[in-house]
Each structure stands twice: as structure tokens, then as C-alpha cells.
């Protein structure tokens, strides 16, 4: 093992440098809602995120190259290419939900995309749209339109990144739907290597970066139940919490309910039992 130098500690991951070209990302069990890290961890959450990301990276490398080089035996660490990250998050939305629904209701548009009138909450969009956001250093991400994203990234890099993101979204949404899950939207982070190649990085199509809805019972016109963070978000808000630090401690049933939703997303999407992943993480590759 090379010597590791801690570069940064994100809300969820520790980022170590192995050398000039490689990073070690270690996904913790921390959970954040509304950009606040809660005081209570969710056991194995970091393993779910790492395993699912590796599963998608292994299956989409023909669509777009990605940063994954190796997956650790602990199920929560990955060796990856060290990239110059693009300064925007590339969100692909296939359905109308979250901030997209809020913006559409107010203006009929989302991040500059004019949509047909009369769409309902959670309705499938005619085509997936890309709604970039800046990675705010402090506080919350800010939605921007695609022209601004192209300015920030450089037009060529942004064009490549958004095309890759839409293609991976389409692939993952089709795969998920065959397994009874609607991939409503998902956020990608991409970076550029020394040779100028745009690559998929960070995490991919996980419950932290996506909205997953059960296909069974899906009906537009209302919010959908989900296999992601919505459960814990709803619980936190019901306590009257004001979305600022410190977040509430989670009771045992909320911890186990959240863990169960993450594990169910993993098992349904990969078709692999989570216990098998714990025994040998490389089964997802
Ligand atoms: N291949 C890569 N090369 C360089 N940086 C990467 C790579 N993959 C992911 N990252 C960065 O590593 C960090 C992952 O940590 P984590 O997901 O905990 O961060 P976050 O809370 O989402 O964001 P923040 O950095 O704002 O805390 C992100 O800043 C991400 O952009
Ligand atoms: Mg992150």
C-alpha cells in the first residue's frame, strides 16, 4: 500500500492522495440532508454507495471512461484516477420532482428548459433534461442554465460531459426500470485527466445522488415513495428542524429504516445480495 496523504474530508468521503495520479476515496457511513451532516451514522451506507458506484462504472465504461481503478476489500474504498474536476454538477432529470418541480410550477421552465404546459408532479418528461448546478463551497448548490455551465467548464468539456451524463442516465434508467425502479433524476460529477479526457468521477447513480422510486405504484400527480434519502429527510423535517447545524440525532428505527432502503436499492439494482458484496466486493465489477 502506498503512503496516503489526507487531502480533504467531504460530507461523506475522505479523500487521500496515493501519488500524483491516484486518489483513495473512502466512503463513510455519514449521512447528510439539506447539506447538513447528521450526528448519527447509517451502518454500511458507505459500502452501499461504493458498491453501487463500482457496479455502474463497470457497466458504463464503454459509454464514457471513468475514474475507477480498484475496489478495496473493505467495500468502502476505491482507488481512482486523480482528475481536475469540472466546476459544475451535471444533473439529469427524466421526471418532474424536487427543485425541478418547484421551478416548473413557478415559471414553466427548469434551468432554461421550456417544458410543455400542464405537467404534473413526478410526471415523466418528454426527454431527459440536463440542469447543471455549481458546487457551492459553502452551503447549497445553485442551479444554473447550460450556457453558464459551458462558460464555467469550457464549451467543449461541458458538451462532452453533458452528453456522457445523458447517455449514462438513459442506460441506468433502462436497467433500473427492468428491476422495478424508476430513476427519476441523478447527479454526476465529471473531471478531466492530464490528456484532456473527460471522465465520470465521484459516485454514480446511488441513493445519495439520485431519486429512486418503486415502479410498482408509480403515479404522477403526487410525490412518490422512495429508496433514497427522502425517508430520513421527511423524518428530520417532521421534528421541526430548521435545516441548519446541528441536525437531529436519529432514533434506531429511522437508522434501520434508512439502512434497509439503501440496501434494498443496492440489491434490486445490482441483482446481488448485499451480504455477498460484503464478503467479496469485487462481485459488482
Ligand atoms: N476522481 C476524482 N478526482 C478528484 N476529485 C474527486 C474525484 N472523485 C471525486 N472527487 C471529489 O471528492 C469529493 C468527494 O467527497 P464527498 O462526496 O464527501 O464530498 P461532498 O460533500 O459531496 O462535497 P464537498 O467536497 O463539497 O464536501 C468531492 O469533492 C468530489 O468532487
Ligand atoms: Mg459528494
Ligand 1 in reach of 115 Cβ (< 6 A) = no
- Are 40 and 99 within 8 A, CB to CB? no
95-114 tens-digit pLDDT: 999 999 999 999 999 999 99
Distance in Å, CA 84 to ligand 1 centroid: 11
16-57 tens-digit pLDDT: 999 999 999 999 999 999 999 999 999 999 999 999 999 999
51-89 tens-digit pLDDT: 999 999 999 999 999 999 999 999 999 999 999 999 999
Which listed ligand is nearest to 85 at the C-alpha? 1
Which listed ligand is nearest to 202 at the C-alpha? 1
Distance in Å, CA 258 to ligand 2 centroid: 18
104-157 tens-digit pLDDT: 999 999 999 999 999 999 999 999 999 999 987 666 789 999 999 999 999 999
- Are 132 and 92 within 8 A, CB to CB? no
**Claim: this prediction has a pTM higher than 0.95:** yes
The ligand 1 atom at the shortest distance from the C-alpha of residue 137 is 26
Amino acid at each position: 500500500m502506498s503512503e496516503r496523504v489526507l487531502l480533504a474530508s467531504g460530507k461523506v468521503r475522505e479523500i487521500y492522495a496515493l501519488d500524483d495520479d491516484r486518489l483513495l476515496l473512502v466512503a463513510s457511513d455519514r449521512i447528510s440532508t439539506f447539506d447538513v451532516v447528521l450526528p448519527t451514522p447509517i451502518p454500511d451506507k458507505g459500502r452501499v454507495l461504493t458498491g453501487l458506484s463500482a457496479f455502474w462504472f463497470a457497466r458504463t465504461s464503454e459509454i464514457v471512461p471513468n475514474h475507477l481503478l480498484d475496489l478495496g476489500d473493505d467495500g468502502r474504498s476505491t482507488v481512482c484516477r486523480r482528475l481536475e474536476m469540472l466546476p459544475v454538477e451535471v444533473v439529469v432529470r427524466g421526471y418532474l420532482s424536487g427543485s425541478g418541480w418547484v421551478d416548473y410550477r413557478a415559471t414553466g421552465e427548469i434551468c432554461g428548459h421550456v417544458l410543455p404546459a400542464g405537467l404534473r408532479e413526478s410526471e415523466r418528461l418528454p426527454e431527459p433534461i440536463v440542469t447543471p448546478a455549481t458546487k457551492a463551497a459553502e452551503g447549497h448548490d445553485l442551479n444554473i442554465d447550460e450556457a453558464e455551465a459551458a462558460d464555467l467548464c469550457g464549451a467543449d468539456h461541458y458538451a462532452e460531459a453533458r452528453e456522457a451524463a445523458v447517455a449514462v442516465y438513459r442506460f441506468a434508467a433502462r436497467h433500473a426500470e427492468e428491476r422495478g425502479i424508476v430513476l427519476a433524476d441523478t447527479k454526476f460529477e465529471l473531471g478531466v485527466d492530464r490528456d484532456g479526457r473527460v471522465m465520470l468521477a465521484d459516485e454514480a447513480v446511488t441513493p445519495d445522488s439520485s431519486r429512486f422510486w418503486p415502479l410498482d405504484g408509480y403515479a404522477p400527480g403526487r410525490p412518490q415513495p422512495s429508496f433514497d434519502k427522502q425517508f430520513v429527510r421527511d423524518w428530520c423535517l417532521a421534528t421541526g428542524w430548521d435545516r441548519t447545524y446541528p441536525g437531529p440525532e436519529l432514533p434506531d428505527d429511522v437508522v434501520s429504516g434508512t439502512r434497509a432502503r439503501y440496501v434494498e436499492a443496492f440489491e434490486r439494482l445490482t441483482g446481488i445480495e448485499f451480504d455477498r458484496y460484503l464478503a467479496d466486493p469485487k462481485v459488482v465489477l
